[in-house]
Structure 1
């Protein structure tokens, strides 16, 4: 089986900043922090890493109890911010997922810094959640490489449970250098897409295997996956 792992924000969808608004409201209303620090980056990082950094910058103890408090508040606010703000599914996403689903022995998963419930809320809102069979999420890890390892383990388990044996390859698609780096940490073929905040020049510094304009450029992806599957079948 070949696993294709997608980042969410900036790769599959743009939410109009719904996640950041839910972050801000949670810190303001539940922690009394009127304004979150602009020195803490969001793109490509796990929700846990972002929240704990914001706590430290705001003079709030980054404890497990406060993380759980944040989770509850954030997840309760995210559905309303998704409705309030103008988001969209990025070009080519539905078509690419359809084409990948039609290829035997390809499984689709997620590799995201979002908490699992946050990922589900976002992708359900945009009619995408049911497209993915497994994933690695940002509930417990602050390091994207740990999330990548979790996603790879989930992919292997999914393959074995479906009688497909070991993976013959993995592809990671994302819009930040963090996506590329965590993909490399699990030996995946990495695909960078400048549809989020990073432009092509910044993404190129992380040396992705493929750099495409957006997900309407499906041919290089499908060719790489088909080649890996054909090579595996020839040697099996």
Structure 2
């Protein structure tokens, strides 16, 4: 980081009025089905065994919305690994996961959630919008999923699970990287001329938006209900939708207007 801007970017930082970050699993890509995220999930198992000699699987804990490092903490703690050992070998654990996913990239089946490709295309065509990622996935794993899905070129910056355990800090990291990626954007952010929006499918996403002081938009496409997401929105400025199929509605929710 920072990324090179994707070829489809129109406009510059001086044009941007809305900065939007998207979660990946359950928001852009489906996390339903027995084979969904199988390679990513198995990478944890492989890393636990290779680094800590522990036989474990992430489905031993409720992990929806957790960052990868948070999942590692919780699972290894469950198996009696001391916190100091988890932290001391965290870099090795993350590297082992990335290696596993790269070695099994051909098996990384991904499915784009209905409506996602259309809304990303609409937003990407606007010079007043900047698109980024905020995901609990490790950066290399997230980018592999997006490359496999064909969505990778839409995003110019992001905050990832390899950056921090706290998803709220990932929103802050994404905004900081957007400042690097777009000339003049920092000045507009500091002047309050840019609205930052985070879109996600879990309670952790809504709490992350609140933590970072940005608008939260919940999408009930990852197994968390509209009611649960709405309950997590405890501050003004957010909203929840069942999905992103209605492109015009989503564009209006995210930017305040519909162009074209």
Looking at structure 2, the residues matched to 95 and 120 of structure 1 have their Cα atoms a distance apart, in angstroms, of 20
Q: Where do 1:1-236 residues align within 5 Å?
A: 1=16, 2-14=18-30, 16-18=36-38, 19-36=40-57, 38-62=59-83, 63-79=86-102, 83-84=106-107, 86-161=109-184, 165-166=188-189, 167-207=193-233, 209-227=238-256
Are the counterparts in 2 of residues 93 and 215 from structure 1 also a CA contact under 8 Å?
yes
Change (3 A) 1:175 1:26: same
Residue pair 1:148, 1:183 contacting (<8 A) in 2 also: yes
Whether the 8 Å contact between 1:48 and 1:140 is mirrored in structure 2 is no
Q: For 2:30 and 2:257, how far apart are their aligned partners in 1?
A: 31
TM-score for both structures, normalised by structure 1: 0.86
- Structure 1 vs Structure 2 CA RMSD: 2.6
- For structure 1, the 5+ residue unaligned runs are 231-236
Aligned mates of 1:163, 1:67 — CA distance in 2: 32
| Structure 1 contact 152–186 (Cα < 8 Å) conserved | no
After superposition, the C-alpha distances for 1:36-81 in whole angstroms (9 at most, x for unaligned) are 3655332111111111222222223444442112112111122455
Query: CA 1:86 to 1:137, structure 2 compared with 1: closer, same or farther past 3 Å?
Result: closer
Q: What runs of 5+ residues in structure 2 fail to find an aligned partner?
A: 1-15
In 1, the alpha carbon distance for the partners of 2:99 and 2:23 equals 22
1:167-225 deviations in Å (ceiling 9; x for gaps): 51011110001111111222322111111121222212112722112121233332244
Q: How far apart in 2 are the matches of 1:200 and 1:11?
A: 13
Aligned residues: 230
2:119–2:250 CA contact under 8 A, matched in 1: no
| TM-score computed with the length of structure 2 as normaliser | 0.78
Deviation, 1:145, is 1.4
Query: Could you tell me how far apart the structure 1 residues matched to 2:47 and 2:140 are?
Result: 16
Aligned-pair CA distance for 1:91: 0.6
Q: How far has the Cα of 1:162 moved from its partner?
A: 6.3
Instruction: Return the alpha-carbon distance in structure 2 between the equivalents of residues 171 and 229 of structure 1.
Output: 16
CA deviation map 1:93-152 (0-9, x unaligned): 111111001112211000111111111111111122221000111113111111111112
